[in-house]
């Protein structure tokens, strides 16, 4: 089970704060491709955290069971 959490403008696009997926052992980059396609996230830039730690290089990480993925866009309001 993988949990994905959405924030800011991304949560608006996905119309939810998060969801769960029942697979694991999938490359992170594949999950991101699927989400970008499904929710039209291409124009949004965001950082990715796994289990509350920002991951700089998302290209080689393989998701494990119980991982929590967070999509964090920068906010600008003030």
Partner 1 sequence: METARYNRQIILPEVGIDGQQKLQQAKVLIVGAGGLGVAVLPYLAAAGIGEIGIIDDDRIEVTNLQRQVIYKSSSVGKSKVLEAKAMALELNPSIKINAITEKLDSKNAILLFEQYDIIVDATDNLDTKYLINDACGVTNKPFVYGSVYKFEGQVSVFNYENGPTYRCLFPDESNEVKNCNDVGVMGISVGIIGMFQANEVLKMVLGIGDLLSGKLLVYNMLNNEQQKFEFSKTVTNTIDIVAFENKYSSVETATIEISAALALEQMHHPQVLFLDVRNADEYPKITIKNGLQIPLDRLEFELHQLDSNATLFVFCQSGIRSKKAVEILRNNNFMNAKSIAGGAKALDKIDAYKVFETL
| CB count in 10 Å sphere of residue 12 | 13
Q: Is 72 in the site for partner 1 (CB under 8 A)?
A: yes
DSSP state of 27: B
Do 4 and 21 form a contact (C-beta atoms < 8 A)? yes
CB of 64 to partner 1, least distance (A): 18
Closest listed residue to residue 2, CA positions, set 57, 64, 46, 56: 64
Binder among 3, 7, 21, 58 for partner 1 (CB under 8 A) = 7
Q: Is 45 in the site for partner 1 (CB under 8 A)?
A: yes
Interface residues with partner 1 (CB under 8 A)? Answer: 5, 7-9, 11, 43-45, 47, 49, 52-54, 56, 70, 72-78
């Amino acid at each position: 089970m993988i949990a994905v959490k959405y924030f800011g403008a991304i949560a608006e696009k996905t119309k939810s704060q998060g969801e769960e997926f029942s697979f694991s052992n999938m490359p992170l980059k594949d999950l991101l491709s699927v989400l970008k396609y499904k929710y039209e996230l291409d124009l949004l830039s965001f950082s990715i955290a796994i289990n509350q730690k920002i991951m700089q290089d998302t290209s080689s990480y393989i998701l494990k069971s119980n991982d929590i993925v967070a999509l964090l866009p920068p906010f600008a309001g003030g």
